[in-house]
Structure 1
Amino acid sequence: MQITVMKSKIHRVKVTQAELNYVGSITIDEDLMDAAGLIENEQVHIVNNNNGERFITYVIKGERGTGMICLNGAAARRVQIGDIIIIIAYGSMSQEEAKTFKPMIVFPDHNNHLVG
């Protein structure tokens, strides 16, 4: 049996842009993507700490080192610039695999940059 387990999380990043007139997605600074093990077009769940919204979209690479977190298309209606969000990706694996699996969790600073 396969179960769904959190594989990656970017915890508490600030929304820097919201672009309604764009094909839907979330644009993420490539440094954050790499640190969390996310790839372009991967499905992610977004949790907005400011308003409680939860939704699903996919990842687009943002310019490395910028701290960019931009919600695009319809997702732009679910955030405000400055909102704090959590980005989560899940993967499927066996229960045995899941018992020892360690997700990649990133805790960026207040400017969405990697710490340490």
Structure 2
Amino acid sequence: MNVEVVKSKLHNVSVTEANLNYVGSITIDEDLMDAANIIENEKVQVVNNNNGERLETYVIKGERGSGVICLNGAAARKVAVGDVVIIITYCHMSLEEAKQFKPTFVFPDTATNALV
């Protein structure tokens, strides 16, 4: 039996941009991606603490060190610049693996999205 578990989480980052005129996705600072073990094109869940919206999309790399968190395309309608979001990834593994697995949780500075 396999189960789906949290793989990683960027907890309480601030939306820096919302770009409606883009194909889709979320742009994340590459430093934040590395810290949270998130790869380009990986599926993520985005939870908006300000309005309760939840959505799924995929990741594209943002400029390293920029602090960028940009919702693109239709997802841009679910956020406002300055909203605080949680970005979560999941993975599938056996029940036995899941019992031993430790997810990566990253808590950047919410004001700047800088790693602390």
Q: Does the TM-score normalized on the shorter chain lie above 0.5? A: yes
1:41 aligns with 2:49: no
Q: Percent identity?
A: 71
For the aligned residues, what is the CA RMSD? 0.4
Please, what TM-score do these two structures have when normalized by structure 1?
A: 0.98
Please, what TM-score do these two structures have when normalized by structure 2?
A: 0.98
TM-superposed deviation, 1:114: 0.4
Measured in 2, the distance between the counterparts of 1:64 and 1:23 equals: 21
Aligned to 2:112: 111
Q: How many matched pairs?
A: 115
Deviation beyond 2 Å, 4+ runs, structure 1: none
Aligned to 1:60: 60
Question: What does 1:65-84 correspond to in 2, within 5 Å?
Answer: 65-84=65-84
- Runs of at least 5 residues in structure 2 that lack an aligned partner in the other structure: none
| 1:7 counterpart letter in structure 2 | K
Measured in 1, the distance between the counterparts of 2:26 and 2:8 equals: 15
Instruction: Kindly provide the CA deviation profile for residues 49-106 of structure 1, in whole angstroms up to 9, marking residues without a partner as x.
Output: 0000001000000000010000000000000000000000000000100011000110
Where 1:45 maps in the other structure, the secondary structure is: strand
Aligned to 1:23: 23
